[in-house]
Chains A and B, each alone.
Chain A
């Protein structure tokens, strides 16, 4: 296992390096941020002069070289928009995004697993119909639409939950549902289908032939088997959560990475984009490795190679 882990860890640096280059090149092609940094009525001379002052008129290799050198020293540079450390800005926002992602994951799992199991155990019932519809619709509804609707219903009309921002547990409910619905739908579908498949396996019959309660059979024998695919997907979805949170954070004014990133991309604020991508990429890679390990722990048939 340790050797496996070591091999996996060895793969991280090249991946992060490729990610860094990809982003740099993309942003470089996108052009420099000078025009967007100045007022809309700035004159061409002002723009050219400002461009020179910031060093954006240097050739690509100089900019890239400087950039990489700084990066190797662990310096992501200062944000063009905010003038402070890009990495600092990213790390400052990270907890809020993680909080939101975790909450949505918890809600997603809390809904999906019971729903998936019950619908698999009682196929072709009302609850199964409900679960199936949920698992399809949840993926077919764009989350910005869902978010705005939730605000209208729960905050404006019913006034039971706050509209936006942070401050209490209540504040996280709507954004977490918005972000978690698609994921929940995916997990429900997966739990249902893998449970359906597993419930027809021979070892389920064996377990029942032992005289175990059906619920015990479902939970102890069937569910444990279905966990393998479920956990894999759940964690892979966690990566998608970071992406999905961009829009959700914007709608709910959630002070996470999402807003920072979107703003940075528009403003071509390379240091922030780079730091944010670096941090999220590292997290995703870490999660992937964790998933791999979980996968192997849960399913003894898979060996660490």
Chain B
């Protein structure tokens, strides 16, 4: 069974005519595989729930998340003394409903998580493809740039960047993305290096297919599964980074809501009103958990190398 899958999913070129048919078949196989992996199902469920929460926030949130209510400040969750069902998870230091904020907060956390990975991925993939495909001076230049980025700790880099650009949603996405691109670049580069030596690429070259077409039609599709795996896993890291930057006061600013902001705003109240930062903390942990489960499962399914093929 393993062998079968490996053959089906192995990154060998597929002619475009067969591609569609293959894609649906692949998807089916993937889904089937998913259902056999318990953690994969759990991961998918968590991620879907969070995404739904983000999408349907205005419908499911009981309150306006930014509605300040000085009469109801620091109300505990309903199961504690003084808590009641009007605010299931209690309220924060400005009397805002924590459940509603959690629901709305998922939006930015998810957007930042996904978009910054997309930004980093795009930059990284393009540079990686160019470096790997053209080699030579271009390659060494890009690789030195990669080394330079690697030599600066991510947090430090983000802080420097964010003091240059005023913090905001898109700045944040851009900055986290930019600090991540090296990971994709080096991955894609090394894969490109090996793929460009394969017969079908050489064949394409000899019949005069343009470099652009070779890169995007022949090489890119074959590095895609690795990119998917890495990016899924790094969404988790991104959500954590976002909250760390909020802790430093460099993240997204109110009235925008993210779990990171809630977590870091609530830290002042950790000793007295633990629910302020515990619930967003739990939300982050569960989401990250789900993403990691999904990512690891994707890796098992998509990346044959991780299954310990014998050398």
Contact = CB atoms under 8 A, between A and B. Distances in A.
Direct contact of A and B (CB under 8 A): yes
Interface of A: 11, 14-16, 18-19, 22-23, 26-27, 29-30, 136-137, 139-145, 148-149, 152, 156, 197-198, 200-202, 239-240, 242-244, 246-247, 261-262, 265-266, 268, 273, 276-277, 280-282, 284-285, 288, 301
Which of B163, B270, B288, B310 neighbours the largest number of chain A CB atoms within 10 Å of its CB?
B163
Given A22-B148, A26-B164, A141-B281, 8 more contacts: A30-B163, A30-B164, A139-B237, A142-B240, A142-B244, A148-B270, A239-B151, A242-B156
7 contacts: A144-B264, A240-B153, A243-B154, A243-B156, A261-B159, A282-B151, A284-B152
Contacts of B163: 30, 265-266, 268
Contacts of B238: none
Nearest to A202: B310
Interface string B153-171: 1111001110110000000
A243 B240 CA distance: 14
Contacts of A201: 308, 310
B244 A26 contact: no
Contacts of B264: 144
B151 A281 contact: yes
Interface string B215-234: 00000000000000000000
A284 B150 contact: yes
A140 B285 contact: yes
A156 B240 CA distance: 26
Contact of A152 (B147, B153, B270): B270
Interface of B: 144-145, 147-148, 150-156, 159-161, 163-164, 236-237, 240, 243-244, 247-248, 260, 263-264, 267, 270-271, 277, 281, 284-286, 288-289, 292-293, 307-308, 310-311
Contact of A285 (B151, B260, B277): B151
Given A15-B151, A26-B161, A30-B163, A136 B156 contact: no
A139 B288 contact: yes
Contacts of B155: 243-244, 246-247
Nearest to B299: A193
Nearest to B151: A281
Given A11-B144, A145-B281, A262-B248, A140 B156 contact: no
A148 B264 CA distance: 11
B292 A152 contact: no
Contacts of A15: 144, 147-148, 151
B159 A265 contact: yes
Contacts of B243: 142
B252 to A, nearest CB: 15
A225 to B, nearest CB: 11
Nearest to B39: A132
Contacts of A244: 153, 155
A202 B310 CA distance: 9
A139 B244 CA distance: 13
B153 A243 contact: yes
Contacts of A266: 163
Contacts of A285: 147, 151
A273 B152 contact: no
B285 A19 contact: no
A136 B289 contact: yes
A156 B270 CA distance: 12
A287 B264 CA distance: 32
A143 B244 contact: yes
A141 B285 contact: yes
Given A139-B240, A140-B288, A277 B267 contact: no
Nearest to A287: B151
A156 B271 contact: yes
B247 A144 contact: yes
A247 B267 CA distance: 14
A200 B308 contact: yes
Contact of A281 (B152, B159, B311): B152
A301 B271 CA distance: 54
A142 B236 contact: no
